[in-house]
Structures are given as structure tokens and as C-alpha cells.
Amino acid sequence: MKKLRLFLAEDQTILRHSLKSLLENEPDLEVVGDAGDGEEAVRQVRSLRPDIVVMDVSMPRMDGVEATLAIKQACPDVKVLALTVHETKTHIRQILKAGASGYIVKRSAAEELIQAVRSVAAKGIYLDPIVAAKLVSGPTPPAPEISAEDKPRAEQLSDREAEVLRLIALGYANKEIAALLNVSVKTVETFKTRSLEKLKLSSRVDIVRYAIERGWLTTSER
């Protein structure tokens, strides 16, 4: 079995060691390095080229956002999973726009972190349910508005196409979206395909970043 190679960037030594023990207890995971500040994390990741970096957002010398930007510029194939105490829309937007593929909060269960790592590796994106719940304003969120400057690119997405994209960005599967919107799974897939073509997006990561950039995931900060 080929193991996922992980790197830990966390300034709290005790927590960093605990995370290492937790992750290495899984047969498919291997921690190949760790660092206590952003600059050291970037330096080591450039050399080690792990599959995934578990990145604390608040660190000395270089914070997680800056470190993520530097890592993605130097090693585009390395994925970053943000691990943080912050749960606000601002922090989520900043780290995902920097290039992170996932976001999990430190108060989540240990099993959730392991699931997040595997999800980022397999699906390319992970959004902590705790955070996703804060972003959902109701069982069926209203369709987002598209600004005038975005209309040429979006080719005026229909309300339902935009609605489907927003739910995808929030982590819902096609079957869940179909149930929420009272349509068939095939219809959801059709809306998704049309939207991706119009926006020239190719992955779920692209959808999440686009949604955040457009301000679609609106909610109060806390």
C-alpha cells in the first residue's frame, strides 16, 4: 500500500507531536516532516514534496496564509489542509484563496481530521461540517447574485445553476442536492456541467474558490 505523505506545520510543539502520533497510527498515512513556523514549513516542503501539508493558520515568522501561497507557487501539486481555531468567513476565504484544498477546525474530533486528509487526497477538497453549518443560512440557501462584471464570464447562470454550485461549494453530494432542491440526480449533474462550462471551472476546488471570491457563502462572522 502506498502511503499518503504528510507534513505538519503547527507552532504548538505538544499539539504537533500529538497530531503526528495520531496520523501515523493510520496504516495509509505517513508524516515525513514537521515545522513550528511558516518559513521553516515552506523550506522543508520545497525539499520533501509531501502529498499534503496540514497547515496551522496562525504561526510565527510567516502565517499559514502566506506559507500556503509560497508552497503552492513552489509546489503546485502539494495540497494544503488548513487546521485552525478560526471559524469565521474571513479566515476561510483567505486560506482557500491562498490555495488550500481544505479547512478543518481544531475542536473537531480526531476522526474528522483523518477523514479530511483522505478526502483532500481523494476528492481534492474538504470543508469542515462545523464551518459548513455556519455558512448555510437555511435548508435551501437562496441563489447568489452575480455582479455585472461577472456576467460575461458566467454567461448569466440561471438561478438553479447558481444554487447547485453553491451547494457543491458547501460540500453537499449530488444526491443531497437533489433532495434539497426536489429534483433528480441527473438534473443536478446537468446543472453542474452547464455551470462548469460557462465558468470554465474544472474541479470542486475551483468551485469553492469561485464561490468564496464571489461572496456566495454569506453568513455572519460569528
In a domain, 61, yes or no: yes
Q: For position 126, what pLDDT does the model report?
A: 82
Does residue 70 share a domain with residue 162? no
In a domain, 14, yes or no: yes
Q: Which of 74-88, 104-118, 128-142, 156-170 has the lowest mean pLDDT?
A: 128-142
Q: Which of 76-80, 93-97, 107-111, 117-121 has the lowest mean pLDDT?
A: 93-97
Average pLDDT over residues 137-144: 43
Greater model confidence, 48 or 126: 48
Residue 108 belongs to domain with CATH number: 3.40.50.2300
Angle at 138 between CA 136 and CA 144, to 5 degrees: 65
Does residue 77 share a domain with residue 176? no
The answer to whether residues 86 and 108 touch, using CB atoms and an 8 Å cutoff, is no
Q: For position 196, what pLDDT does the model report?
A: 87
Confidence check: pLDDT of 79 > 50: yes
Q: How many folded domains does the chain comprise? A: 2
Spatial strand order in the sheet of 29-35: 29-35, 4-9, 52-56, 79-84, 102-105, 126-127
Does residue 182 share a domain with residue 74? no
Label residue 146 by pLDDT band (50, 70, 90).
Answer: very low
Does residue 160 share a domain with residue 50? no
Does residue 53 share a domain with residue 155? no
In a domain, 11, yes or no: yes
| Domain enclosing residue 56, as ranges | 4-134
